[in-house]
Amino acid sequence: MANEKLKNVTPVQKMYQELAKRKEPKRPVFKNCVKAFFVGGAICLLGQGLQEFFMHFFGFDQTKAGDPTVACLIFISVVLTSLGVYDKFGQWAGAGSAVPVTGFANSMVSAAIEHRSEGLVHGVGGNMFKLAGSVIVFGTFTAFVVGIIYLIFGIGG
C-alpha cells in the first residue's frame, strides 16, 4: 500500500518530501532511551521502596506487600494526573513514564478527565475504558489461550 502511494507522487510532492526530510530535526534517540531507562527504573525503585516499607513496618511478607504497593503507585499516578503533573512528566520522561501500573492508571484517569463534561455515565464511565478496555480484553483472551495450552499439554501440574 505504501508503495502504491509513492508511485502516485508528483515531482513537486517528491521535492517537498525530500525538503521536509532534510529540515526535520534529528531525534535524540540515545538520550531518550537513557531518560526512559532511568525514569522507569526510578518508578520501579519507588515501588520497591514502598514494598519494603510495608514489609518492615506492617509485617507483610513479600507477596502480601504487593497489593498495597500497587495501590499506592496507582494512587500517586491518579493524583499526579489529576493535577496535570504526570502528563508534563510523561512528555519529558517519554516511555519511562509508561511503566505498566502508573502508565495504565494515567491513561484511564486522562480519558475520564477529558470526558467529564459529558457526565458521569456517558462521559467518564463510557470513555474511561477506551484504552484500558482493549488491554483488559486482550489480556483476558491471552490468559484464556495460555490456560488452554497448559491444559492440553499438561504443563505446570
> What is the per-residue pLDDT across 84-119, written as a single tens digit (0 to 9) for each?
999 899 899 988 888 878 888 888 888 888 888 888
The CA distance from 80 to 94, in Å, is 16
User: Given a cut of 80, is residue 7 above it in pLDDT?
Assistant: no
Per-residue confidence at 4, pLDDT binned at 50, 70, 90?
low
Q: Please state the rounded mean pLDDT for residues 31-38.
A: 94
Contact 36, 94 (CB under 8 A): yes
If we measure between CA atoms, which residue out of 125, 88, 81 comes closest to residue 107? 81
CA distances to 11, 37, 141, 155 from 150, rounded to whole Å, are: 57, 34, 14, 5
User: Model-level pTM?
Assistant: 0.70
Per-residue confidence at 1, pLDDT binned at 50, 70, 90?
very low
The CA distance from 77 to 71, in Å, is 10
Query: What value does the mean pLDDT of the chain take?
Result: 87
